[in-house]
């Protein structure tokens, strides 16, 4: 690194330092307060091969190569029966299905946004902003940020390379840290000393020192946990490793978190119980199960919501994949989630009930569902919910 590059980096870090310093003052989160993690699946996952409409003949007619067989105890590749009309992809047999049996996970089908662009970027932005469609888009205000502003004793963090739109505009600083790559500190001791010396004797000195110390501490904690968790065993799959590290931070220090997972855009050779989607679902399921396991008793104070910008076309396409759709399936899991059920408004999975003859309609608006869930979790007043999701009509699905 040459001098000019270092000074540019140092200047950027100086801007970030107050954020880290602020978070440092909130480092010890109060016990027994709700813990919430939002998992955003970027790419629009095929919910129909997660939550399989096994009671629908139309499903089997529409997916000649992608459909997952109806529950059959003699067939390990058949769907796991959830109730009379729905089954679960069998790749989740050892991870998510046990949570279903313990009634710690519920699925909300026909969920999503009113955004009908079917554009990844427009729909992701719309969801992360959390605003109604007729609002002028404010790309400096996300619903997780506004939620954070309504809560006390609820330190927030994003496990992402950059602060996501969801957490933009909080009015206070929210740290983000990537767990997907290099966990080493951005500065070695020599660089940190140089940076600290630049602010010595200035009003920024304390903030700069706190920011550098926090990043060093977090890095050390992560490296220590990574070594301890391995114990000579083969490496866990990537997402499971990440979620164990997330649990380490969420358990003791944070109460509001965001993580995103990419790779869900499956236009070609999607597969059913094998292939790209199945691998992604298996990794996701193992990661979420690892997160629950790593939290231990704190799982009882934890709620996780998994969502995506949209679902996919109900019928498979000519490339044995699926294209951009609309309604999707949300997952809600946690130690005290009232699970073991399919929640929310539903319709029969038939051709006449498809939206525009191509995908699931949205009957459970994500702003209303999340608004109702958050209202219950934190006891938010009606005005507070409106601050998070303007013009939402929060609905209590009895999820917690």
Q: Identify the residue with better confidence: 27 or 68.
A: 68
Alpha-carbon gap, residue 34 to 256, rounded angstroms: 9
pLDDT score of 7: 34
pLDDT score of 107: 98
DSSP string, 322-341: --B-S-EEEEEEETT---SE
Residue 17 has pLDDT above 50, yes or no: no
Q: Where are the domains of the chain?
A: 30-183+222-388
pLDDT score of 238: 74
% of the chain residues with pLDDT over 70: 80
What's the pTM value of the predicted model, to 2 decimals? Answer: 0.81
Residue 60 has pLDDT above 80, yes or no: yes
Q: Mean of the pLDDT values across residues 45-55?
A: 98
DSSP string, 54-67: TT-HHHHHH-TTTP
Note the pLDDT tens digit of each residue in 320-364.
999 999 999 999 999 999 999 999 999 999 999 999 999 999 999
Q: What is the per-residue burial (b if ≥16 Cβ within 10 Å, else e) of 78-104?
A: bbbbbeeebbbbbbbeebbbebbeeeb
Which stretch of 84-93, 217-226, 280-289, 320-329 has the lowest confidence by average pLDDT? 217-226
pLDDT score of 233: 27
- Number of H helices and number of E strands within the chain? 11, 11
Q: Are 346 and 119 in contact (CB under 8 A)?
A: no
Q: Which fold has domain 30-183+222-388?
A: Alkaline Phosphatase, subunit A (3.40.720)
Residue 308 has pLDDT above 80, yes or no: yes
Whole-Å CA distances, 157 to 24, 93, 213, 291: 12, 31, 17, 16
Q: Identify the residue with better confidence: 375 or 9.
A: 375
Q: Mean of the pLDDT values across residues 298-317?
A: 97
Note the pLDDT tens digit of each residue in 180-189.
655 455 566 7
């Amino acid at each position: 690194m040459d001098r000019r590059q270092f000074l540019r980096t140092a200047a950027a870090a100086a801007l970030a330092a107050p954020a880290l310093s602020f978070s440092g003052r909130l480092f010890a989160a109060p016990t027994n307060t709700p813990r919430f993690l939002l998992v955003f699946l970027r790419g629009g996952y095929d919910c129909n091969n997660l939550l399989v409409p096994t009671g629908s003949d139309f499903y089997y007619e529409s997916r000649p190569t992608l459909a997952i067989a109806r529950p059959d105890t003699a067939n390990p590749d058949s769907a796991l029966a959830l109730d009379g009309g729905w089954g679960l992809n069998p790749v989740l047999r050892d991870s998510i299905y046990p949570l279903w049996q313990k009634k710690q996970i519920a699925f909300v089908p026909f969920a999503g946004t009113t955004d009908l662009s079917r554009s990844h970027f427009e729909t992701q932005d719309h969801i992360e902003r959390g605003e109604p469609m007729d609002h002028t888009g404010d790309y400096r205000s996300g619903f997780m940020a506004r939620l954070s502003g309504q809560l006390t004793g609820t330190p927030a963090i994003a496990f992402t390379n950059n602060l996501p739109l969801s957490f933009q505009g909080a009015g206070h600083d929210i740290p983000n840290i990537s767990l997907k790559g290099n966990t080493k500190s951005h500065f070695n001791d020599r660089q940190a000393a140089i940076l600290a010396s630049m602010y010595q004797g200035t009003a920024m000195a304390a903030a700069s020192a706190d920011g550098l110390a926090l990043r060093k501490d977090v890095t050390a904690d992560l490296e220590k946990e990574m070594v301890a968790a391995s114990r000579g065993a083969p490496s866990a799959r990537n997402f499971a490793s990440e979620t164990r590290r997330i649990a380490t931070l969420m358990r003791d220090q944070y109460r509001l978190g965001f993580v995103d997972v990419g790779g869900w855009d499956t236009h070609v050779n999607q597969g059913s119980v094998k292939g790209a989607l199945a691998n992604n679902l298996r990794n996701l399921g193992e990661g979420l199960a690892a997160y629950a396991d790593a939290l231990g008793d704190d799982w009882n104070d934890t709620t996780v919501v998994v969502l995506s910008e949209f679902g996919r076309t109900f019928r498979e396409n000519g490339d044995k994949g699926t294209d951009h759709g609309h309604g999707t399936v949300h997952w809600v899991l946690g130690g005290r989630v009232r699970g073991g059920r399919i929640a929310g408004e539903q319709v029969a999975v038939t051709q006449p009930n498809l939206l525009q003859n191509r995908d699931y309609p949205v009957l459970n608006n994500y702003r209303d569902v999340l608004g109702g869930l958050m209202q219950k979790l934190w006891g938010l007043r009606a005005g507070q919910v409106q601050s998070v999701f303007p013009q939402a009509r929060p609905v209590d699905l009895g999820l917690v």
